[in-house]
Amino acid sequence: MYLKQLVSFKTNLHLHNPHLNIKGVTTDSRKVKKDFLFAALSGSKTDGNLYIHDALNRGASAIITRPQSDIEIPPHIEKIEDPNPHKLFSQIAAYFYNERPEFIVGITGTNGKTSTADFIRQLWAHKHIESGSVGTLGVITNHHYEYGSLTTPSPEDLYKILQDLKLQNITHVALEASSHGLHQYRLDGLLFKAAGFTNLTRDHLDYHKDMASYQEAKARLFKDLLEENAPAVLNIDDPAFDYFKNICQKNKRTVITYGKHATDIQLIDQKLTAQGQQLSLKIFDQKIDTFFPVAGNFQIYNLLCALGLVIGTGTKVADALSAIPTLKSVPGRIELVGQLNNQASIYIDYAHTPDALETILKALRPHTDKQLIVVFGCGGNRDRGKRPQMGSIADRLADKVIVTDDNPRHENPNHIRKEILAACKKGIEIANREQAIYKAINMLHSQDILVIAGKGHETGQIVGNTVHPFDDKVIANQAILEKNKGNINVT
């Protein structure tokens, strides 16, 4: 594709060689090949300008960088300077990979994005719509699953994924929009057909520094990336609702509310069962009773958000409602791993924030009148402020607590556990995560519930720069099998 085509949306840009045939675009100098465009983007950890010479040596013919960059670039190389190179590159990547599904909806919020996105995919799939979801779990379609590592992928990866989905005849996609992705303009080559907001609680303050900045990053989905008059599906029960509603109204978005106090998609009543939840709902003045086969009050909110987004983009209310009894929880989100012979239940969950940990413990508490046990830790080189918060939450809501390691990275894991345990008087410290899981399962009595929190679907333990293979689900299943056979041995 000619360079002038890639930047045709930039009317004030002068190119020395507009007919350069660009064969690829990337922000990773290691991926550069002959006649690639390389974007020298700066992040929180590194300066992209440091990799320009590497990109040139590998064959880059065009470079995107900040104005007044002091990096010398040969005159035959096209140098494109822009005050917002992140946004420019995202738009260029979207032009380079210019095919994408017709209906793309975005979901943002601290918690619930992954479950909401997958519920949307399942609701569409129930009506035989070729659909997919992109986010923390990777790329999921009705026929295929490919694991990913970022909630919102890099621009070149994201737009290539969307083009690949289009070539697979996927017409509808639900996309998780993380605060990092929004702040770094990774999504700025898209206009969404609809957008949903789940909730806003403390997270990523190591990156955003304060809640106001975090909230503002989330709001970009509704302010900058949503089609005019498109549906904005908002959680009316969240304290941040008024902020997002005002953003949407100022920018001519059509607000759809959901929650216990909503006027559009309302939860009227719920009753817990051993297999899930019996719900009474009012959907745009239509009252219905339905069975939702997923545990957890918070999952109801994810369901309501998903309903708003699929109905808001054209699915008939009756068609959406008929799919609810068929829905399944996503891997690692309040996922039932198995049971012991004594009917104790073991769950895994991705909860790694104070709000998420509180939510999962409160969600599972009504399902047992016996002990609720939790195993968790906190990540290293991340927001330290949430460690005592999570310790306090576990101490208050669980009957027994085991504090262990969870991606210590470059921090001393002993210090991380100490910060958690300072606020968790009932906490038992077991550094080795596998031993902690075995110990917890060995503690379970009849009808108890154990939740292993923090990793969910993830399959690694990060120590230093190394990702060691580790899967909570695999370890839990091994321990369950040994416990049921009477062979478990925990010291």
Tens place of pLDDT for every residue, the chain, 491 residues? 899 999 999 888 889 999 999 999 999 999 999 999 999 998 767 888 999 999 999 999 999 999 877 788 999 999 999 999 999 999 999 999 999 999 999 999 988 999 999 999 999 999 999 999 999 889 999 988 786 766 678 899 999 999 999 999 999 999 999 988 999 999 999 999 999 999 998 554 555 467 788 888 999 999 999 999 999 999 999 999 999 999 999 999 999 999 999 999 999 999 987 567 999 999 999 999 999 988 888 899 999 999 999 999 999 999 999 999 999 988 888 888 989 999 999 999 999 999 899 999 999 998 888 999 999 999 999 999 999 999 999 999 999 999 999 999 999 999 999 999 999 999 999 999 999 999 999 999 999 999 999 999 899 999 999 999 999 999 999 999 999 998 765 54
Structure confidence at residue 394 (pLDDT): 99
Burial of 242 (0-12, 13-18, 19+ CB in 10 A): exposed
Specify the pLDDT at position 149. 61
Alpha-carbon gap, residue 401 to 374, rounded angstroms: 5
- Residue whose tokens read 């699915």: 315
User: Could you give the CA distance from residue 406 to residue 380 in angstroms, rounded to a whole number?
Assistant: 8
- Domains, the chain, in order of start with CATH, read 3-84 (3.40.1390.10), 97-326 (3.40.1190.10), 335-485 (3.90.190.20)
Tokens 């609701």 correspond to 123
Strand residue runs (E) in 371-418: 372-376, 400-403
Which residue, among 405, 393, 473, has the nearest Cα to 435 in the 3D structure?
A: 405
Joined together, the tokens standing for residue 293 give: 């086969």
Tokens of 209: 């520094």
pLDDT of residue 113: 93
Check residue 331 and give its pLDDT.
Answer: 85
Cβ atoms < 10 Å from Cβ of 397? 17
3-state secondary structure of 224: coil
Of 115, 99, 128, 169, nearest in space to 309 by CA: 115
Instruction: Provide the 10 A C-beta neighbour count for residue 297.
Output: 14
SS3 assignment, position 189: coil
What's the residue count for the chain?
Answer: 491
| Closest C-alpha to 224, from 284, 183, 168, 265 | 183
For residue 237, how many other CB atoms are within 10 A of its CB? Answer: 16
What pLDDT is attached to residue 491? 44
* Dist CA 300 CA 8 (whole Å): 44
Beta strands in 320-457 (DSSP E): 335-339, 345-349, 372-376, 400-403, 427-429, 449-453
Position 434 scores a pLDDT of 98
Q: What are phi and psi of 60, to 5 degrees?
A: -60, 140
